[in-house]
């Protein structure tokens, strides 16, 4: 996550173009199979998950230890998570993609999310670290930044979000899934730096409060930002770039969405029941 995610920074460029929502309807029938019948309370086909792909092709976010832009990592993980969610029966899962740079593309995300009105918004990112921890090394003949000091994922929620409590609930469910899969969150955002330290609201599961993130505070839906790991860490970047790790993360997202859906999906509207006709004084049906 980079600093341009914060509200109040300069509006560098307003060239935000469009959003591409890759809906389940675009997929082949085999990819849109409904989940096996269960007795759970989650009606997956009507539960909308919006996966926000952090950054843009023009402003690709953090640069990894091996020189790869964050945006590619975000897009790869979001695509796989969408496929798994659809496979699990969440047929209305979509990606939120924008173009452009600066604050404009962030505002655009919030506007689109509010228009789409999903049941859940998950913003997908990959992390870097603070300047003070950065060192230099040479890879493929080019000198690059890296830091092996921290590793691990983190989860962010904003108390300015209208559905703060629900956002925290989803962040904890995802944190639990990740912990169960054997992954550890990074404590780096709780480092004792007065101007940068974030409140760690769940020290077991790695849920932080980051109140001024536009994509969390300006949306009127439950929202969580997921930093899937530190691509500035040389070893962790290699792991994050494997199909196995992506599959594990996508599975955690899917399981957490299912648990959240079971707990929070609004009950269905009461079904219309026509008046029972009477014939010869007896009920006909
Ligand atoms: Zn980011």
Q: Tell me, what's the pLDDT at 193?
A: 83
What is the layout of strands, in order, in the sheet containing 223-230? Answer: 94-96, 49-53, 120-127, 223-230, 154-157, 207-209, 200-202
**3 C-alpha to center of ligand 1: Å?**
9
Q: Tell me, what's the pLDDT at 233?
A: 98
**74 C-alpha to center of ligand 1: Å?**
8
**262 C-alpha to center of ligand 1: Å?**
29
User: Is residue 82 within 8 Å of residue 51, measured between CB atoms?
Assistant: yes
Q: Tell me the sheet residues that pair with 135.
A: 146
Rounded Cα distance between 76 and 269, Å, is: 37
The maximal CA–CA distance of the chain, rounded, in angstroms, is: 93
CATH code, 2-283: 3.40.630.40
**215 C-alpha to center of ligand 1: Å?**
11
Closest C-alpha among 157, 222, 225, 233 to residue 188: 233
**71 C-alpha to center of ligand 1: Å?**
8
Q: Is 124 exposed, middle or buried (0-12, 13-18, 19+ CB in 10 A)?
A: buried
User: Residue 15 is inside which H or E element, if any?
Assistant: none
Q: Collect residues with CB below 5 Å from ion ligand 1.
A: 1, 54, 61, 125
pLDDT < 50 stretches in the chain: 2-37, 278, 281-285
**275 C-alpha to center of ligand 1: Å?**
56
User: Is residue 55 within 8 Å of residue 71, measured between CB atoms?
Assistant: yes
């Amino acid at each position: 996550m980079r600093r341009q995610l914060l509200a109040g920074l300069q509006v560098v460029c307003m060239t935000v173009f469009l959003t591409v929502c890759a809906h389940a309807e675009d997929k082949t029938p085999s990819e849109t199979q409904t989940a096996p019948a269960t007795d759970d309370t989650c009606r997956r086909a009507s539960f909308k998950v919006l996966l926000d792909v952090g950054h843009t092709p023009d402003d690709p976010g953090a640069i990894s230890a091996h020189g790869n832009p964050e945006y590619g990592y975000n897009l790869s993980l979001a695509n796989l998570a969408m496929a798994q969610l659809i496979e699990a029966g969440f047929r209305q899962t979509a990606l939120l993609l924008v173009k452009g740079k600066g604050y404009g593309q962030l505002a655009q995300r919030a506007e689109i999310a509010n228009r789409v009105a999903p049941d859940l918004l998950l913003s997908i990112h990959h992390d870097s670290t603070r300047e003070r921890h950065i060192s230099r090394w040479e890879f493929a003949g080019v000198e690059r930044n890296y830091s092996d000091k921290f590793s691990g994922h983190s989860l962010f929620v904003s108390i300015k979000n209208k559905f703060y409590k629900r956002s925290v609930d989803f962040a904890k469910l995802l944190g639990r899934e990740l912990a169960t899969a054997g992954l550890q969150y990074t404590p780096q955002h709780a480092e004792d730096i007065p101007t940068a330290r974030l409140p760690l609201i769940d020290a077991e599961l790695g849920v932080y409060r980051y109140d001024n993130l536009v994509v969390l505070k300006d949306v009127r839906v439950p929202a969580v930002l997921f930093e899937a790991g530190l691509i500035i860490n040389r070893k962790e970047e290699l792991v994050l770039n494997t199909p196995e790790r992506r599959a594990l993360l996508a599975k955690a997202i899917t399981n957490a969405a299912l648990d959240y859906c079971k707990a929070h999906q609004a009950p269905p509207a009461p079904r219309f029941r026509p008046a029972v006709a009477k014939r010869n004084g007896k009920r006909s049906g």
